[in-house]
Structure 1
Amino acid sequence: MQNDGVSTVTAAQEVKKSFAMLFLTIFIPFGMGHFISYLYRTINAVIYNDLATELHLPPESMGLLTGSYFLAFAAAQLPLGVMLDRYGPRAVQGPMLLIAAAGSVIFALSHSEWGLLMGRGLIGLGVAGSLMSAIKACSIWLPIERLPLCTACLLSVGGLGAMASTAPLHMVLNWVSWREAFMLLAVLTVLVSGVIHFSVRGAYTPKDAHFGDMCRAVGRLYRSWTFWRLGLYSVFAHATYMAILALWMGPWLRDVAGLGTTTMANALMYGAVAMVAGSLTFGWLTDYLRQYGVQPIMICGGGIAVFVAFQILMISDTPVSPWLITAGFSFFGTATTMNYAIVAQSVAPELAGRVSTSFNLVVFILAFAVQWLAGVVIGHWQSVDGAFPVVAYQWSLGLLIALQIPGLLLWLSFKPWQRRPVIH
């Protein structure tokens, strides 16, 4: 009996030690990387007027410029997935952030649209592995059934990055120019790269598999109907969520809701808080209802349905507070990100990096297309003092809503309300 007691105490100590290691190797270093990623992703929504005014950029150019982040991000996904599965998250993420830092410097120093595109593209390339590296680390050190909760916690850290790019950034811009802000971001990115390199000590054995074999496994994923079914029901909603928050939510608040610059930044801050709350809520709800047999896809798809409803409010004449719309869009939009964990759970852990990045490739290509398309549609109307008419946003957002409806119908075909047996 005494030995059993000692064993129990030892096991409890090991659990605490494992949790401490998990916290140090994922939530601090990789969470900081994801924080930086989201800060870069959403910063253009706040500096939109400065960029457009200084460089005389029309909406379609702003959409292309901001969307180049998504395009470069997408281009990195397949080789990134192979590298993550072969070399591990620490060896990949630190060096890539240095590329983002270089892109931030180029963006800060550029005075032409092409220079800005190059800088923004390098930023997207450099932060392309932020979330995927964290998810890969979770798949290594966490039980697979806890992956949705861990992903949600990491996404909430990304929400903090989005939060920092709103009212806090607006305050900083009272003291420095947007160019100086990007130079400061470059320094911060280098520091985070150093934290990941020197603090992550979790053991990872590099895989001996050949790159060709690992790449062929990616090809098999793309030929799998299961992969596409799990991805397609959420992918347009996810792309819309990223594209609107990264750029068009700010102009919508200004042109349609009639908010001033400071109030707009505060509203975006309010939405970023809702994003953090949404990530944590959907993660906790998924983890809690798992014990009752409720499938994660039920919670993910249900949240997406409400997310689409808030987009409908954005184009309707219903008098709804723009603060409520921003919060609801940001809160329920986080449901789209839960599908990362659902897709990752569908394969063995050694494939987690490749399946996550393969799905991410599809999401970010569509995010680029959606962001650019929104700018093209809005640009068909004439601006008055830099502001576009309400009808321009109604057509743009209406088109995006139409692209998301088939995904909801596909989700219903899964019969997500059916529960799985619970094994105790």
Structure 2
Amino acid sequence: MGNENTGALAGDPQAAKQSFLYLFLTIFVPFGLGHFVSYLFRTVNALIYVDLEHELHLPASSLGLLTGVYFLTFAAAQIPLGVMLDRYGPRSVQAPMLLFAVLGSLIFSFAHSEMGLIMGRGLIGLGVAGSLMSAIKACTIWLPVERLPLTTACLLSVGGLGAMASTTPLHELMRWITWREAFLILALLTLAVCLIIHISVPRTYKPKPTTLAEMSAAVAALYSSWVFWRLALYSVFAHAIYMSVLSLWMGPWLKDVGRVGEAGMASTLLWGTVAMVAGSLAFGSITDYLRRFGVQPIMVCGTGVAIFIGFQILMISGLPVAPLLIAMGFSFFGTSTTMNYAIVAQSVPPELAGRVSSSFNLVVFVLAFALQWLMGEILNAWPSTGPGHSAIAYQWTLGCMIALQIPGMLLWLSFKPWKLRRD
């Protein structure tokens, strides 16, 4: 599609909504690539943690802090990010922010101290903080609101491909390069995505006239709303634990409890990310299909979360279940937690979508940072067995995480989500 056709479609919202090629070029390719890079950075430490541990002699608590600082800076960016997305549009926000991730990846690559790694990881988290929110904002601009769960699921599946790239493909690549060289390659990849977004996405976003102060006040009102918190709290702990485990602790659990070797761990993580992609597409498709019969998206999301908790129980049960099956089930049903992005975004007009999505994202990522660090602290509280941790240490750690998710399930039941919606 040439520039003239793109401009014509951008000037006619109805034509834009009817053009798959337009949507593919302006949303799924540029913003999908941004989310791909974000997930690649988020999960890469689950594979390279052994190299970091050996080269820099980092304990579990330091690994948890190092990996979790990504979530902390990611979270810190969410409120200003939401305001800027609604004020300036996804293109003008996402492309410049990715430059911080480029800088962070370079610093991480050359760092020789824990502080240097934390600084680089923090800049990476800041740089990719807008990846999914920019994509969701773009969807609310150009897509019918009722299709938001499906399109969000498709974008999340692209993120799953990024997580997939951080497993066996990266493991094979690191036979030839070091983890430092891998981060140099990631810096170049991120720069390329930044340029694609800058060049490809139309400059047609026209926000409603309002001041930044007024937009910020709307965020404060949002956080004082019980409706927002009810929609957030039923799944937020499950979502944060899903990210915390997949971005770091799934690898150590496979090695220490599942007795999976290094090559087998990379392969298992790869199949887990395949399940993640399949889960995103499955939950999005199921939600989109069932809406025709009045089934609420929150019903699909909460049911998936309940099964997700079941797989966490399997991780600590000691039952003779294959680690591969557990990792795939954890990854597949964990994607149900991400459906709440669309549920929250659907609850407000499109001009508020950036702020409400990023406000929800802030809660998720603050929790992900805290819980990833907390899991490392709990693991450290138990005597180490050789180079890893004992099964009982993981039982207590994951058991505490499961306990945090139970109130959310009780809140979800109070919604009576099984009642059909009458449109």
TM-score after normalising by structure 2: 0.96
CA deviation profile, 1:342-392 (whole Å, cap 9, x unmatched): 000111110000000000000000000110000000011232331111011
Q: Which residue type is aligned with residue 52 of structure 1?
A: E
- State how far apart, in whole Å, the 2-side matches of 1:17 and 1:353 are: 23
- State how far apart, in whole Å, the 2-side matches of 1:385 and 1:27 are: 46
Deviation at 1:15, TM superposition (A): 6.8
Contact in 2 for aligned 1:233/1:408 (Cα 8 Å): yes
- State how far apart, in whole Å, the 2-side matches of 1:205 and 1:303 are: 37
Deviation at 1:56, TM superposition (A): 0.4
- State how far apart, in whole Å, the 1-side matches of 2:194 and 2:105 are: 14
- State how far apart, in whole Å, the 1-side matches of 2:301 and 2:57 are: 40
Moved more, 291-300 or 194-203: 194-203
Deviation at 1:20, TM superposition (A): 1.6
Match of 1:88 in 2: 89
CA deviation profile, 1:148-185 (whole Å, cap 9, x unmatched): 00000000000000000000010011000000000000
The count of residues paired between Structure 1 and Structure 2 equals 411
Match of 2:332 in 1: 331
- State how far apart, in whole Å, the 1-side matches of 2:384 and 2:107 are: 30
The DSSP-based 3-state class of the residue aligned with 2:123 is helix
Match of 2:360 in 1: 359
Match of 1:411 in 2: 412
Deviation at 1:22, TM superposition (A): 1.1
- State how far apart, in whole Å, the 2-side matches of 1:179 and 1:385 are: 27
Deviation at 1:17, TM superposition (A): 5.7
Please give the residue correspondences for 1:115-194 in structure 2 after superposition, counting only pairs within 5 Å: 115-194=116-195
Q: Which residue type is aligned with residue 182 of structure 1?
A: F
CA deviation profile, 1:42-65 (whole Å, cap 9, x unmatched): 000000100011000000000000
CA deviation profile, 1:214-264 (whole Å, cap 9, x unmatched): 000000000000000000000000000000000000000000000000000
Match of 1:7 in 2: none
The answer to whether the aligner puts 1:300 opposite 2:301 as a matched pair is: yes
- Unaligned runs of 5+ residues in structure 1 are 1-10
- State how far apart, in whole Å, the 1-side matches of 2:270 and 2:411 are: 33
Question: What value does the CA root-mean-square deviation take over the aligned residues?
Answer: 1.2
CA deviation profile, 1:128-160 (whole Å, cap 9, x unmatched): 000000000000000100000000000000000
The DSSP-based 3-state class of the residue aligned with 2:388 is coil
- State how far apart, in whole Å, the 2-side matches of 1:204 and 1:15 are: 13
- Unaligned runs of 5+ residues in structure 2 are 1-11
Q: Which residue type is aligned with residue 355 of structure 1?
A: V
Q: 1:324 to 1:19 in 2, by over 3 A?
A: same
- State how far apart, in whole Å, the 1-side matches of 2:210 and 2:112 are: 45
Q: Which residue type is aligned with residue 121 of structure 1?
A: G
Contact in 1 for aligned 2:17/2:23 (Cα 8 Å): no
Match of 1:289 in 2: 290
Contact in 1 for aligned 2:160/2:273 (Cα 8 Å): yes
The DSSP-based 3-state class of the residue aligned with 2:26 is helix
Contact in 2 for aligned 1:25/1:202 (Cα 8 Å): no
Match of 2:58 in 1: 57
The answer to whether the aligner puts 1:374 opposite 2:375 as a matched pair is: yes
Contact in 2 for aligned 1:38/1:158 (Cα 8 Å): yes
The DSSP-based 3-state class of the residue aligned with 1:291 is helix
Match of 2:19 in 1: 18
The DSSP-based 3-state class of the residue aligned with 1:203 is coil
Deviation at 1:421, TM superposition (A): 1.6
Deviation at 1:202, TM superposition (A): 5.6
Deviation at 1:206, TM superposition (A): 4.2
CA deviation profile, 1:267-312 (whole Å, cap 9, x unmatched): 0000000000000000000000000000000000000000000000
Match of 1:99 in 2: 100
Q: Which residue type is aligned with residue 329 of structure 1?
A: F
Please give the residue correspondences for 1:213-232 in structure 2 after superposition, counting only pairs within 5 Å: 213-232=214-233
The DSSP-based 3-state class of the residue aligned with 2:328 is helix
- State how far apart, in whole Å, the 1-side matches of 2:279 and 2:17 are: 28
> Percent of aligned pairs with the same residue?
69
- State how far apart, in whole Å, the 2-side matches of 1:65 and 1:407 are: 28
- State how far apart, in whole Å, the 2-side matches of 1:22 and 1:300 are: 26
- State how far apart, in whole Å, the 1-side matches of 2:263 and 2:330 are: 20
TM-score after normalising by structure 1: 0.95
- State how far apart, in whole Å, the 2-side matches of 1:317 and 1:39 are: 31
